[in-house]
Structure 1
Amino acid sequence: MSVESNLNVVEELHWYTQVIDTMDVGIFVLDLEFNVMAWNRFMQSYSGIPSSDILHKPLFSVCTDLPQAWMEAKCNATISLGTQGFSSWEDRAYIFEFQNFSPASRGLELMHQNMVITPLSSLSGQVSHLCVMISDVSDTAQNKMLLNESNRKLEHKSRIDGLTGLLNRACWEQSLIKECRRLKVDDERVSTLVIFDIDFFKRVNDTYGHSIGDEVIRHTAQLAEKTSRESDFVGRYGGEEFAVLLPNTGHEQALYFAERLRKRIAESQIKTAQGTINYTISLGVCEFNRTQIETATQWIEAADTALYKSKDNGRNLTTVYSLAL
């Protein structure tokens, strides 16, 4: 090869080096033993390791904080398949522990990264090196996480009653409908519905005001949650009325739950500037009966019938539904 040809090759390599160094992504090249053969300016700036300290040295000996086993597996898969390998920040937030300096994603301490591994072939066609590209996607990651958090809060808000923190009526009814379907296809499954409301609640509002009325509702919700199990569905059905779905529970166990809740509330007190409030609840209990109930609406109506029987009999009572009511 002539001197002129050699100069042309050197000049061409110089251009390539300049191009790689000016790119706003991290680029480095590894041989098949994971020795570093190229290390661009981006990698030097963010890692604090100049190319003179890493070229022709094992990557994992110099960058000791890398996930070595994971990265070797990624690289070996690229070598075996001869196709590009990828890693997204959503799978692994970062590969290199680079500080994040982007003002648009200040909430992230470390740079979030995407990685692309490209196999490089020799003249023989065999993979001889790997080009690894590290992209800073911190801004995208921050925006995606903020959006996901907003969506999570909206989804939570759409399911939860704002005053009590219980399931709202729409969400609770969906749970009841799903349970009703399960009961209709599983003859051995048993579940019970408990509906209750606060006795003389209008009198509380008229005497103490709506803010105290809200406090009574919140207090009732808290005791209902404390008395129920994690597997139960406790919801605010509307106003001062509440509903509890007890899956895998017969009417006897449900009656025990209802009586325990009724006594807890009757024994509790709410202290206000206008005095201490004592109050009670009335409850209706209805176990799902396949011969009498076909829909969630009918189940609610049956439990309501039992609730109103408790009201008719003097309040502060629990009534279990039967056809005789």
Structure 2
Amino acid sequence: MNQMNLADFHLTLQVMDNIDAGVVILDRNYTVMAWNTFMQAYSGINADRIIGRNLFDVVEDLPIEWLKNKIKSTFKLRMRSFTGWEDRPQIFNFQNFSPISGGSSLMYQNMTLTPLKSLSGEYSHICMTITDVSDIAKNKTHLRESNEQLTHLSMTDRLTQLYNRGHWESCLLEEFERCRQLQQPATLVMFDIDHFKKVNDTHGHIAGDGVIRTVASLLRRTKRQSDIAGRYGGEEFGVILPNTTAEMGLYFTERLRKRVEKAAVAVDVRSINVTISLGVSEWHSGFRTYEAWLENADNALYESKQNGRNQTTVSNVIIPESELAILS
């Protein structure tokens, strides 16, 4: 190697050692040919301990099979490949010491694999570049979490932590359309707290809020994971029971009704007992809109209240002749 080539090589080594990224050069047998200052600092492995040795024999906790397959694929395709932190947060198990990471100990990494040609023109080596993207990952993760939280807040009732009316009604519309397309059963339950105005007038609105929260908690414990519960407004609630007949819905409502009847809401030194009235309506092909289904369940709820409260009424679906004419 002449003097000019040696000078160029010396300059290249200085750049590689001072670049703010990890640089590792491997041959086809995964023997380490270069290991820059970044890799030494974060791995704790000096260059003289690893150069000339197999990468996987020296460095622990590497995704061995996955990384070997990536390297083999890069050699085969003879083109650069890239892996982002969102696909695999880490390649090397490095700790993050940067203050911008906000205390995160995990160094998020991007990796680029570049096939290198020898003087003979053969692709004989791989250059692995490891970039610390912890600050980007942290900011993007924070943004994603914030957006998820905002989405959750936009569809959640603050008092009960159930779905709010707007989101719950959109779920009802989706279930209505699903029933129409698949002709599968679903049941809608509407219920409210009996004599709730009296609770507010007698015990105050704070006690009333406590009653609503208790009923909502009992509802969450009684429903299945697939059931969709929401606060419809005030003391009224709605529950969508997918793949459920009215008979099965009655079993659910009676369990809920009895749990509410036995429960007591503690307010200061007092204890408040309440009951609920419920209406059950199974989806029917005669319903032209989800509002008609909702109205049918509400009518059944009204019937429960007219008949003495603290009970469930299952609707007998009767389609008006005017709607039957339209359907035919």
TM-score (norm 1): 0.94
Q: Tell me how far apart the structure 2 counterparts of residues 71 and 289 of structure 1 sit (CA, whole Å).
A: 56
Structure 1 counterpart of 2:202, from 203, 207, 226: 207
Aligned to 1:129: 125
The more displaced of 313-322 and 108-117 is 313-322
> CA contact under 8 A between 1:95 and 1:113: conserved in structure 2?
yes
* Superposed CA offset, 1:16-51 (max 9, x none): 111111111111211111111111111111112221
* Partner secondary structure for residue 98 of structure 1: coil
> CA contact under 8 A between 1:161 and 1:168: conserved in structure 2?
yes
Structure 1 counterpart of 2:273, from 271, 274, 278: 278
Give 1:322 deviation, angstroms.
2.4
The one-letter code of the counterpart of 1:218 is: R
Q: Give 1:46-125 correspondences, 5 Å limit.
A: 46-125=42-121
The one-letter code of the counterpart of 2:219 is: A
Aligned to 1:309: 303
The one-letter code of the counterpart of 2:315 is: Y
Structure 1 vs Structure 2 CA RMSD:
1.5
Q: Tell me how far apart the structure 1 counterparts of residues 48 and 275 of structure 2 sit (CA, whole Å).
A: 80
Give 1:256 deviation, angstroms.
2.0
Aligned to 1:318: 312
Gaps of 5+ in 1: none
Q: Tell me how far apart the structure 2 counterparts of residues 324 and 174 of structure 1 sit (CA, whole Å).
A: 25
* Partner secondary structure for residue 308 of structure 1: helix
* Partner secondary structure for residue 294 of structure 2: helix
> CA contact under 8 A between 1:113 and 1:137: conserved in structure 2?
yes
Q: Tell me how far apart the structure 1 counterparts of residues 110 and 268 of structure 2 sit (CA, whole Å).
A: 59
Q: Give 1:222-233 correspondences, 5 Å limit.
A: 222-233=217-228
CA distance 1:64–1:271, change in 2 (3 Å) = closer
Aligned to 2:324: none
Give 1:64 deviation, angstroms.
2.6
Give 1:52 deviation, angstroms.
1.5
Aligned to 2:256: 261
The one-letter code of the counterpart of 1:72 is: K
Give 1:320 deviation, angstroms.
1.6
Gaps of 5+ in 2: 320-328
Number of corresponding residues:
319
Q: Tell me how far apart the structure 2 counterparts of residues 61 and 262 of structure 1 sit (CA, whole Å).
A: 65
* Superposed CA offset, 1:193-217 (max 9, x none): 1100011111111111111100000
The one-letter code of the counterpart of 1:155 is: T
Aligned to 2:191: 196
Give 1:232 deviation, angstroms.
1.0
Q: Tell me how far apart the structure 2 counterparts of residues 203 and 114 of structure 1 sit (CA, whole Å).
A: 63
* Partner secondary structure for residue 256 of structure 2: helix
Q: Tell me how far apart the structure 1 counterparts of residues 260 and 85 of structure 2 sit (CA, whole Å).
A: 50
